[in-house]
Chain A
Amino acid sequence: MTLLNGLLPPYIESIAITVGIYIIMALGLNLITGVTGQLSLGHAAYMSIGAYASAVVSLQLGMPFIFALLAGGIAAGFFGLIIGYPTLRLTGDYLAIATLGFGEIVKSLLFNMPIVGGAMGLAGIPFKSTLTVTLIVVIIVIWMMVRVERSRFGRALLAIREDDIAAECYGINTSLYKVKMFVLGTFIAGIGGALWAHKIMVLQPRDFGFMKSIEILNMVVLGGLGSIPGTVLGAIVLTSIPEVLRFSSDYRMLLYGALLVIMMRFRPNGLLGGVDVTKLVKKSIKSITGSNFADKEKKKVKGGN
């Protein structure tokens, strides 16, 4: 189990765990924004719900980590259901602003909740998110995503993204699918949050602001909307770039911003967008098998590392 831990230099290992957590977060958002096309600007809120819920389970109940993980996922998924059910009727940017508002509400409530420490937050959370654990969760989440994409469910989601009115005409219950995928996406965000809590060991509401949601969105769009390998790549690139740019601490964030602009300028569909899923699906159902083939190859490449 602990085979991988300690194999890498600690600095790299720490970055690798962070990358893993962001891959999970980004895959959850990819399901909502990439696959189904519902722009969400409040993903960090679900992350915070998962993180706090899992921290409470670990600290107050002292239960094993696996329960804390699941508790984080379930709590976030539950709020995803409560919020998703009414708001997913909204379309496009109205949904975006509702999710943004929800994110700010969660942050504001966390600041005012003495049980979770208010601004001081929760501390002393045990370190459990080792590289091995994170990697296992990443693999499970990727596997889940691939399964969802290949299923009838996944095809329905793509139909909704491309044209939700047409999808409705074909007898797809769009609202039901949207809510289902929103809950799954937020569940995964909760899992990611739980891992985060058990890596960082300290939680404060400030950590889950609007910019965190934006960072995760950047990963999904930069990698390629709707593309699983793209999202994974986006998370890897955008998490490691600030570390790579560390040599110039003054210009670091400046370069990060410039990179976003330049990458969008030259690859507006994302690094892997347009190369696969998006374009192919438009043409025929056959191409879905093609994109899944790409996923297999992706896995092989990943396995090689």
Chain B
Amino acid sequence: MDFTSNFIVQLINGIALGSTYALIALGYTMVYGIIMLINFAHGEIYMVGAFVGLALVTIFKVHIIIAFLGAMLFCMLMAVSIEIIAYRPLRRSKRLAALISAIGISIILSNLVNLLVGPKPQTFPSIEKILFEIKSFDLIAGAQINTLQILLIIVSAILMIGLQYIVKRTKVGKAMRATSQDYDTAALMGINVNRIISYTFAIGSALAGAGGVLVGIYFGVVKYNMGMLPGMKAFTAAVLGGIGSIPGAMFGGIILGVIEMMTVAIGFSSYRDAIAFGILILVLLIKPTGLFGKQIFKKV
């Protein structure tokens, strides 16, 4: 009994953590799917989103939901401008050039926030004062889930379903899928490729911004270097799920979160990263395109 209850608790912990990875991973996977770029600055966009949310709540005293939307909007605009300044001129160059440009942007963003806010971790106002009280609910076998975890999981789920709707049911989504399948043909078919790429960046970054605010609420802290590690984990999650695949990124994120928590649960908390990445490498060796990725045959 004790074992099942602990298992369920850790599973919930893992899903909650995994949801945050998934929200960031979606941005990686969308951008990668469309222009084959590992957007290293994406983790920092998530960080900036958290800070914008914090500033809106504490300085401008707006409601948390407006802050949430504000952070999403800000990240959208920022990512679109970054794309135009730093990536668009490099689209026809070697892919690594854009990668280095992305690394440069990432360094600029984290140092800019460090300069403006300082290296001290900033406290995100407690959710109890803004929205509702934290309560715990009993699940089966004595396991508990709290309202924060429910909030995190539900909001992530809503965002992901919304994304799925945009990609599968709207015209923009159709154009995105076409562009990611074949860039040149899509352009020939009259799709404004530049605009579609901007949309992709905007949507992916809005999700990252949302993730930043959610994580701020969930953990209660935002820091200038908070984008680095989750960014790396989220990218890993995207690859685990099969980079370029949207459901892949969602499940990849959640699977990674659950693996980490299970490692902690069995008492190997100090090997958390080693085991998570070890499993990643194993998955890649067995299924080189990730869990949900399609095999792409290269033409000569």
Q: Which A residues have a C-beta under 8 Å from some C-beta of B?
A: 33, 39, 86-87, 89-91, 93-94, 96-98, 100-102, 104-105, 107-109, 111-112, 163, 165-166, 169, 210-211, 214, 217-218, 221-222, 225, 250-251, 253-254, 256-261, 264-265, 268-270, 273
Contact = CB atoms under 8 A, between A and B. Distances in A.
3 pairs of A and B residues whose beta carbons are closest in the complex: A260-B104, A257-B107, A268-B93
Contacts of B228: 210-211
A268 B99 CA distance: 10
8 contacts: A91-B288, A104-B273, A105-B277, A211-B228, A214-B103, A217-B100, A261-B85, A264-B100
B94 A269 contact: yes
A97 B236 contact: yes
A39 B284 contact: no
A250 B298 CA distance: 47
Contact of A258 (B108, B270, B284): B108
Interface in B72-110: 85-86, 89-90, 93-94, 96-101, 103-108
Contacts of A93: 32, 38, 239, 243
B285 A253 contact: no
Given A90-B288, A165-B300, A257 B97 contact: no
A98 B100 contact: no
Contacts of B187: none
B288 A210 contact: no
Interface in B23-63: 32, 38
B277 A254 contact: no
A51 to B, nearest CB: 19
A104 B277 contact: yes
Contacts of B273: 104-105, 107-108
B274 A257 contact: no
Nearest to B232: A210
B274 A109 contact: yes
A111 B228 CA distance: 19
B6 interface: no
Contacts of B281: 87, 98, 101-102, 105
B115 interface: yes
B43 to A, nearest CB: 11
Interface of B: 32, 38, 85-86, 89-90, 93-94, 96-101, 103-108, 111-112, 115, 228, 232, 235-236, 239, 243, 270-274, 277-278, 280-281, 284-285, 288-290, 298, 300
A102 B86 contact: no
Contact of B111 (A112, A257, A261): A257
Contacts of B107: 253-254, 256-257, 260
B86 A265 contact: yes
A275 to B, nearest CB: 14
B108 A101 contact: no
A94 B274 contact: no
A222 B100 contact: yes
Given A254-B108, A268-B89, 16 more contacts: A93-B243, A94-B289, A97-B284, A98-B284, A100-B232, A101-B281, A104-B273, A104-B277, A105-B281, A107-B273, A108-B274, A109-B274, A165-B298, A254-B112, A260-B104, A264-B98
Contacts of B270: 108, 111-112
Contacts of B284: 87, 90, 94, 97-98
A264 to B, nearest CB: 4
Contact of A221 (B99, B272, B280, B298): B99
Nearest to B36: A93
A256 B97 CA distance: 16
A278 to B, nearest CB: 9
B280 to A, nearest CB: 5
A169 B299 CA distance: 13
A257 B104 contact: yes
Given A165-B298, A253-B111, A261 B96 contact: no
Contact of B100 (A101, A112, A211, A221): A221
A94 to B, nearest CB: 6
Given A93-B239, A258-B108, A260-B107, A268 B115 contact: no
A165 B32 CA distance: 23
B37 to A, nearest CB: 10
B100 A218 contact: yes
